[in-house]
Amino acid sequence: MCQLLGMNCNVPTDICFSFAGFRARGGLTDHHRDGWGIAFFEGAGVRVFLDPAPSAASPVAELVKHYPIRSLNVIAHIRKATQGGIRLENTHPFQRELWGRYWVFAHNGNLKDFAPALGGRFLPVGTTDSERAFCYLLDRLAARFPQGAPAPAALHATLRELALEVGRRGEFNFLLSDGDWLFAHCSSRLCYILRKAPFAVAHLADEDLTVDFNQLTTPDDRVAVIATTPLTDNEAWTEIPPGNLFAFHDGLPVGLGETRTVAQEVPRRLPDHGHAPDAE
């Protein structure tokens, strides 16, 4: 299983602490050795670092670990290849433009026999099922909303429909962001933690590193960190129940309507600007 990492904040924040532990999973504390990448939204732009080498031994990852880029939304990925060779063009996260904004996407899972028809505007460069899925999502969004970006609730509802559709082909854990919202879909495994005042001391699970967030934050700061599995071993992480699409904005999960992406289940709802429900 690949590893996903996302961050959504209400003020620009660096991800150095979380990335230090996350990076170790690419060949040191875990066996994901088939490349890694990270994308930082900065205003209207995106700064992307990609490397098909294991993140634990990557000089580029070493640079990112010590490079305090401050961003409102970050998506990172450590790859364990299932489809497509270990090459730069197959390395997540992927980036495209839609409605005059950059979108960034990273996927964990394996979509079997997934070969959807594409309109031609969004085409994969590499050979992964993940990039094809990203192109398909954007293709359908562009077709559904040709006049421009919809309201967040309508966007979430459409992404939920698409997650349900694509998810029938296999595991479809993903992170998707346009630099404003961060959408997290859990097909099998994904969790998150909210950091806000009063802040605490955190210790990484994959590296012996501790940080006191009280020394790095203000009382108004809010940060949501999303990961495949918890990055720290002394904090309470919340599991996203499989078959749910959550939306994060300004460092909080926000209720935009039904979240369930499993057809046979009763739809779940989040209260507006409320916390996610407890894991089932």
Task: Identify the CA nearest to 61 among candidates 36, 79, 31.
Answer: 36
C-alpha 207/C-alpha 86 separation (Å) is: 26
C-alpha 163/C-alpha 206 separation (Å) is: 31
- 2, 9, 135, 191: the catalytic one is 2
> Angle 152-167/129-144 helices, nearest 10 degrees?
140
Determine whether 16 is an active site residue.
no
Burial (CB < 10 A; 0-12, 13-18, 19+), residue 264, is exposed
Structure tokens at 206: 């994959």
> φ, ψ for residue 242 (rounded to 5)?
-55, 140
Structure tokens at 97: 């433009």
The residues annotated with a catalytic role in the active site are 2
